[in-house]
Amino acid sequence: MLAIEDLHASYDSTPVLRGVDLSVDEGEIVGVIGKNGAGKTTLMKSVIGLLEPDSGTIQFDGRDVTDEPSDARARGGMGYIPQRRDVFPSLTVEENLRMGESINEGGEARYDAVYEYFPILEERREQKAGTMSGGQQQMLAVGRALVGSPDLLLLDEPSEGVQPSIVAEMSETIGQMSEETETTVLFVEQNLSVIDALAERCYVMEKGRIVEELAAVEHETVATHLAV
Amino acid sequence: MIYDTLNLLFQFLDSFAFIVLATVGLAVIFGMMGIINLAHGEFILVGAYGTTLSYGAGLPLALAMGVGVLATTVFGLVLERTVMRRLYHRPLDSMVATWGLSLVTVQLARIGFGNTLSQVGTPLGSISYGAFSYSAYRVVLAGIAVAVLVSLYWLFMYTEFGTQARATMEDEPTARSMGVDTGRIYLGTFGLGSALAGLTGALYAPTITMTPELGASFLVEAFVTVVVGGSSVLVGTSLAGGFLGVVNATFTNLAGTFIGQVAMLLAAILAIRLLPEGITGLIDSWRAKRAEGGQ
Amino acid sequence: MSLRTVLDGPNTRGTSDRFWAAFGLAVVALLGYPLVASTYAVANAALFLLYAILGLSLCVIWGYCGILSFGQVAFFGIGGYTFGIVGINLSTTTGTALGLLTGVGVATLFAFVLGYFMFYGGVRDVYVTIMTLVVALVVHTFMGQTAGSEWAIGEAALGGFDGMTNIPNLMLGGIELIDTAFYYVVLLVLLGTYLGLRALVNSDFGRAMVAVREDEERTELLGYDTKRIKLLVFTLGGALAGLSGVLYASWGNYMNPAVFGITFAALPVVWVSVGGRDSLLGAIGATYAIEWFSQQLSITGSEYALVVVGGLLLVTILWLPKGVAPAVADWLSEKQSSPSIRGHEEVAD
Amino acid sequence: MAAEPEPLLATDALRKEFGGLTATDDVSLTVSPGERRCLIGPNGAGKSTLLSLITGQLDPNAGSIRFAGEAIDGLSPHERIDRGLSVKFQVPSVYGEFSTRENLRLALQRRVSGEELEDAIVDSLSRFDLADEEYVEANALSHGQKQRLEIAMASALDPALLLLDEPVAGLSVEETQRIADLLIDLNESVGVALLVIEHDMKFVRALAERVTVLHQGSILIEGEMENVADDPAVRNVYLGEEV
Amino acid sequence: MNNLFSTGRSSTRRAFLAAGATGITATAGCTGSARQDADVVRIGVLEDRSGGFALNGTSKWQTSVLAIEELNEAGGILGKEIELFDPDPQSDNQRYQELTRRLIQREEVDALWAGYSSAARETIRPLINQYEQLYFYTTQYEGGVCDSTIFPVGATARQQLGAVVPHLIEEYGPRIYTIAADYNFGQISGDWVRILAEENGAEVIGEEFIPLDVSQFGSTINRIQEADPDFVMSMLVGQNHTSFYNQRASAGLDIPIGSSTTMAQGYEHRRLNPPALADMYVGVNYMEEVDTEASNAFVERFYDRWPDAPYLNQEAQNNYFSIHMYAEAAERAGTTDQEAVIEELEKGVEIEAPEGTIELDGDTHHMNHHMRIGHADSNHDLSFGNEQYIGAGFLQEVGCSLPDDPETTQYLPAEVYDL
């Protein structure tokens, strides 16, 4: 589904990714773990296309999308959930969800499914997204990406700033959804419980490189990498 | 007494229509894409010239106005592709660049069409009341101003384009990552802003003098209103238009045109000082307070 | 050397010995210009040089403190009008000197009040720009209607749209400053302003000023009172613009409200953005070059003159967004193939 | 209680809301003079908001702050800095187009001038091991160098309390250790109190005398690192797992 | 070619030739210049061809070119070819100053024609006086300028309003409402309306001065309706103000209007859609529609030379006759030395202009003009009537006599009349 080869990227000429290789198979849920500053968010931005890589290739669904702009990638089936609950604060919940419709062009909009996963979103349809709590905004961000039934879901630190109970609930929902709809998921995270609950396979990232691949979640190893 | 009130009302409608119509195109472009378009007056010029020239060529007035709007839209779209897209969210640079554009446009209009065009007469006659009468067309203009605001509200709030445009304005990268072709949204929004400026030119073509400098007479009101209005294009423009219209009409009525104009500008300066975020900021904080109270 | 330590620093581009040698040559050339040029050419050059002071006034507040004022001409005009009022009423040597002082003083005060009003009122960024423009336009509207005889201060009628006539020439030590004498005075004032501003931007205060431009919040968290810095710089800009206006009034013996209009208001912004907003010398050069060029164009009488001026502006912003002087400096330093680490030469000297 | 010296910093029931989000919820925090304190908690716990409330970049919806015996509510940031606060941001925000030297100078010139300023710059450069980078534009510095430069700038103001937001984020183990050593040295030599937000537990262990855990905008627990780390509630929120 | 002037110029010119040439080198102009090209006569013309006043300025420039070409074809002035310096001041007062300096100091013009607006004239007036430059200002204006080297040859407010106000009082009644542009010209014109009203037993019942950048007139129209005058005197100026007439028509304000500013300068009767100017009366010394032999011949020559020109306005005629008048005076003086030419002009010159035969009043440097009242009907068709020959009375009353008493003053009606 997704294959990244020797990806280099930088912010303002400061290199952040220094040759990332990773691949995700169809239907798989893969986690990328690493400390702050390891380059996880940059990796996600490069995959969705918000950051132009310096070199390397990104293949999605058998196509080379390295030079495609992000909106084309999204319409091609990538659903992206940005870090820090990047919803549109002055748009209502429903309008936020509607923005997700463009993902995976031609796919059917799945409002029912989303409302089923996150009933609170239906309740708050008319409310402005910016006035909701952090957890609710995170659900909205996830729901928004799911509306368009993406083939590949990209999650950037879904647990950040969210209550543990909601984190757990959300991990579960995402896992369930992936199973039900055979959606491939790539997420980056430093919260152990999310990694535990979701990942079938794990990459460990340090200083812009993948330093280790863990077949299943090896709890202790992961913990040392997070250096808690 | 009743006639005086009617006079004041008509003058308010007149000011309101002028302020709103002078502003909307600029407000859409500034509010949505952070371009301070000093060539705004020249967009209006294109609309007015398009209308007057095609009326002169024999088209009925309504159709001629359509041509004016269309010409301005095309003008705007071409500029977006060639110039404006390099200036998004560089408001200060955009100011200098569009000033250059304004000089060029005015002078090319002069070279192309001479110092003046022969004028379209104002249609629709007048409304009489007591010793007074008022141009019916100007009352219609006020109606159109309101209609423009309402349709913009509908467009931005209830259509897919509107939602996408608002999302793009708020957070362009995220909108793009949701599959929105933000380049097209920008193009469309700029086209819309241009069309609105063109509409203003078309509507006022029968009432103002056709010279290449005609755009300048809209510029001050437009800028003042945008600033007083603040970040929200619609709410800001309508409220600022209303506020400045009342100030202008009242003082003009009481003390003459000059005082009316100065009062309006001073009111604007005070408003900017007291509400650095514009009227929109005031509304936002009021809403926030109400929301808090409600919880 | 000690002078060089004051004038050189990381906030100005030309700091090498070669730069100063070239600068000295240029000054000598300007000083010698009246010896070879006609009276007309000298008087004309004086106009461009006094405009350059107006250009510098914007350069220092926009380029070095990040505040784009679209209303520098308001201070320029107020300085000029005030000089006129005082000068007409007291048409003596001390009278015009007093006119110079009050002209600059009133412009400075006006800038201070406006700056206080804005910066301490939380007006920021592009709103400052539009606000300054609106203020200039308000003054424009006001001055345009001062035609009546009630708008006279002593002997000096404001004159409305027609403007104020019979403004006397500046006098220094009993000598009326016209033509060549005026040129030398303007040249020296400009030179003083330039060197003074160089010293300022490379001083502790200047560094703080540039820090405000780069990141106002960060600078405040280093303990700098950024509002005060902005107010001081804005006031200084107003004073320089006022000075330029006084010289202008003396040059043409005339002021009119067009100096507050949007067309003239745009000019300093044009000069500075073309020259390079953080280059003092760029601002001077661009002012001179642009004014000279557009005057030449108007002399041709070509109907395309304004098209060319506008087009150049557009092209410069699109292709040289940082302005001509920085582009030239970059190009020169690339040619020297030394990595351009600014500030290095300061110590190497 | 009465025996304790007056705290250097004391916040009283600070509350800050953004729209519907409560970022800090009645936080009362005290820091004593010369103390080394760490503030930990998961992302989004309100740590950075608390910091901005202390520096005055944000105004609280409720609550008050005292610093060095005075109420500082309503003072603008620069006035608070003048009273002896200093801050280093989460994301290094050095002046990218200035050289290392210029960055340092900008901070040091607040205190000293002339010869003394020269000496202070040289001193600071060597103390924070930036002498080789003196004329390098800050944009071109490595992440670790930027972090050090910013700590150098913050401490250049000779503050009584230094606020540091994630000073070692994204640094290597060696660099982290170096920063810890620098900060401890600074604390011990001039007696500056430190309030540090950090995720890196090794660093926190090395540095902190006391630790405050913030969660969901309020203080969960406060105490010595060992006690805090063993607290089940902390392990729950921080590591997201039942222990 | 139509023989425009009554004196047999071409026969006398050669006689002056030798003397003229030596005269020039001897006096070498007031500027004390070293460079005086004895082979040409240098004329400077600054008329706006771009910017806000291009509408009015362009035909002034065109007739200037026409006049100079005619003179050159006939052998120039004093046998010397006329060289024209005609940069475009772009309606920009600052540019006016720069260019005037250039024309005086560098091109050393023998005579200068410059400016449409009073503001442009005032901008350069200090320079003109400082360098004692012979200068012709040709626009109709508020009047009162009494400067020793300036010849304001356009009709003054006194002349224009003096033609139209009494006529309208007689025709429609004594209650007058004045609207005028809010600057010197408008205010002084307003004063003249009051003076003329008083002289003719009428009264100004309302007066409004309108800033030049106003283009919306709803409230003004209401005020006029409220006052209900017998007629309106409009001294509105500029393109923004022109909008008044359209707005007046659409608001149904059908009170007759008298004016000194419409039609003859900006040809509003051609540009605006009827009936915007219905029942408009304007006092003019010339319009291209004036149907006399001299006028028709002039119009024909003009459009032969400038087939694309939209209109030939009153001021353009003034440029045209005054250039010929200058040539005449220089011929008579036998030199282009400015002092000598001014002295010759001050003796009084009679000239056959397209508007008719008119005289220069040597004392005041103003022209006696043939004033007519042009009337536009609801189709904007023009008729002319009530022709009078009106002199520069006001300046004579205040004692402006430049040959005896050289001065640089602008007299205001308020200084003489009790307003």
CA angle D96, D101, D107 (to 5 degrees): 85
pLDDT higher than 70, residue B194: yes
Confidence of residue A216 (pLDDT cuts 50, 70, 90): low
E158-284: CATH, from 3.40.50.300, 3.10.20.30, 3.30.365.10, 3.40.50.2300: 3.40.50.2300
Contact partners for chain C, using 3 or more CB pairs closer than 8 A, are: B, D, E
Q: Which residue of C has its CA nearest to B105?
A: C307
- Residue D223 touches chain C, beta carbons under 8 Å: no
Mean pLDDT, residues C30-45: 88
Q: Which residue of C has its CA nearest to E104?
A: C40
- Residue B291 touches chain A, beta carbons under 8 Å: yes
Amino acid C27: pLDDT: 92
Contacts 24+ apart (CB under 8 A), E294-303: E294/E2, E294/E4, E294/E352, E294/E353, E294/E354, E294/E355, E294/E356, E295/E354, E295/E355, E297/E2, E297/E354, E298/E2, E298/E354, E299/E354, E301/E2, E301/E66, E301/E70, E302/E62, E302/E63, E302/E66
Shortest Cα distance, chain C CAs vs residue B29, angstroms: 15
Q: Do chains E and C touch (3 or more CB pairs under 8 A)?
A: yes
> E105 and C264 in contact by Cβ < 8 A?
no
Nearest to D157 among C218, C219, C223 (CB): C223
Q: Which residue of A has its CA nearest to D237?
A: A164
Amino acid C43: pLDDT: 87
pLDDT higher than 80, residue D241: no
Domain(s) labelled CATH 3.40.50.2300 in chain E stretch across: 9-154+291-368, 158-284
Nearest to C134 among B95, B103, B223 (CB): B223
Q: C-chain residues within 8 Å CB-CB of E99?
A: 295, 298-299
Shortest Cα distance, chain B CAs vs residue E378, angstroms: 13
Mean pLDDT, residues B194-203: 92
Determine how β-strand A14-24 pairs with β-strand A2-11: antiparallel
pLDDT higher than 90, residue C244: yes
Shortest Cα distance, chain C CAs vs residue E259, angstroms: 20
Shortest Cα distance, chain B CAs vs residue A39, angstroms: 18
> C215 and D97 in contact by Cβ < 8 A?
no
Q: Which residue of D has its CA nearest to A134?
A: D21
Nearest to B269 among C135, C270, C273 (CB): C135
Cα→Cα distances B115→B43, B103, E59, E295, Å: 17, 15, 11, 24
- Residue B137 touches chain E, beta carbons under 8 Å: yes
To the nearest whole percent, how much of chain A has pLDDT over 90?
Answer: 0
The total of other beta-carbon atoms located within 10 Å of residue C262's CB is 20
Return d(Cα C191, Cα C146) in angstroms, integer.
36
pLDDT higher than 60, residue A227: no
Q: Which residue of D has its CA nearest to C213?
A: D95
Confidence of residue A218 (pLDDT cuts 50, 70, 90): low
Q: D-chain residues within 8 Å CB-CB of C223?
A: 78, 81-82, 86, 110, 157
- Residue A169 touches chain D, beta carbons under 8 Å: no
> B209 and E271 in contact by Cβ < 8 A?
yes
Q: Do chains E and D touch (3 or more CB pairs under 8 A)?
A: no
pLDDT higher than 90, residue C329: no
Mean pLDDT, residues E22-40: 46
Return d(Cα B288, Cα C99) in angstroms, integer.
53
Three-class secondary structure of residue A18 per DSSP: strand
Half-sphere exposure of D152 (CA within 13 A, CB side): 28
Amino acid C141: pLDDT: 81
More confident residue, E332 or B244: E332
Three-class secondary structure of residue D19 per DSSP: coil
Q: Which residue of B has its CA nearest to E218?
A: B11
Cα→Cα distances B294→B287, B290, C98, E172, Å: 10, 6, 63, 68
Q: Which CATH class is domain E9-154+291-368?
A: alpha beta
- Residue C156 touches chain E, beta carbons under 8 Å: no
pLDDT higher than 90, residue C195: yes
Confidence of residue D20 (pLDDT cuts 50, 70, 90): low
> B256 and E213 in contact by Cβ < 8 A?
no
- A98 and A106 Cβ atoms separated by less than 8 Å: no
Interface of D with A (CB under 8 A): 19-21, 42-45, 96, 139, 143, 166, 169-172, 199-202, 216, 236-241
Least confident span in B183-187, C337-341, D126-130: C337-341
> D78 and C207 in contact by Cβ < 8 A?
no
Shortest Cα distance, chain E CAs vs residue C278, angstroms: 27
Nearest to E218 among B122, B124, B138 (CB): B138
Tell me which residues of chain C, numbers 182 to 211, contact chain E at a CB-CB cutoff of 8 Å. Answer: none
Shortest Cα distance, chain E CAs vs residue B147, angstroms: 21
pLDDT higher than 50, residue E2: no
Contacts 24+ apart (CB under 8 A), B259-266: B260/E219, B261/C141, B261/E211, B261/E213, B261/E214, B262/C138, B262/C141, B262/C142, B264/B224, B265/B220, B265/B224, B265/C134, B265/C137, B265/C138, B265/C141, B266/C138
Provide ipTM, 2 decimals: 0.82
B120: amino acid identity, one letter = V
Cα→Cα distances E214→A142, E219, E240, E241, E419, Å: 55, 12, 6, 7, 27
- D167 and D92 Cβ atoms separated by less than 8 Å: no
Contact partners for chain A, using 3 or more CB pairs closer than 8 A, are: B, D
Three-class secondary structure of residue E212 per DSSP: coil
Nearest to C130 among B101, B227, B265 (CB): B227
Nearest to C165 among E50, E125, E187 (CB): E125
- Using one digit for the tens of pLDDT, what is the confidence trace for B21-42? 888 888 888 877 778 888 899 9
Q: Which residues contact D27 (CB under 8 A, 6 or more apart)?
A: D11, D13, D14, D15, D46, D50, D63, D214, D217, D218, D219
- Using one digit for the tens of pLDDT, what is the confidence trace for E200-229? 888 999 899 888 878 888 888 888 888 889
Nearest to D20 among A133, A167, A191 (CB): A133
Return d(Cα E290, Cα E384) in angstroms, integer.
7
A19 burial level (CB within 10 Å; 0-12, 13-18, 19+):
middle
Return d(Cα B47, Cα B194) in angstroms, integer.
9
Mean pLDDT, residues A200-207: 82
- Using one digit for the tens of pLDDT, what is the confidence trace for C63-83? 999 999 989 999 999 999 999
Mean pLDDT, residues B97-105: 89
Shortest Cα distance, chain A CAs vs residue D3, angstroms: 36
Domains of chain D, residue spans = 9-92+161-237
Q: C-chain residues within 8 Å CB-CB of D57?
A: 217, 221
Contacts C–D by Cβ distance under 8 A: 69
Q: Which CATH class is domain D9-92+161-237?
A: alpha beta
Cβ-count burial D198-215 (b if 16+ within 10 Å, e if not): bbbbebbebbbebbbbbb
Contacts B–C by Cβ distance under 8 A: 115
Nearest to D240 among A35, A133, A164 (CB): A164
Question: H-helix or E-strand containing E239?
Answer: helix E238-251
- Residue C303 touches chain B, beta carbons under 8 Å: yes
- Residue A156 touches chain D, beta carbons under 8 Å: no
Shortest Cα distance, chain B CAs vs residue A174, angstroms: 18
- Residue A192 touches chain D, beta carbons under 8 Å: yes
Q: B-chain residues within 8 Å CB-CB of C301?
A: none
**Domains in chain A, start-ordered, CATH in brackets?**
2-227 (3.40.50.300)
Cα→Cα distances D212→C315, D27, D195, E190, Å: 57, 11, 10, 81
Contacts 24+ apart (CB under 8 A), B92-95: B92/B36, B92/C68, B92/C126, B92/C129, B93/C273, B93/C317, B93/C321, B94/B34, B94/B35, B94/B36, B94/B37, B95/B36, B95/B38, B95/C68, B95/C70, B95/C129, B95/C269
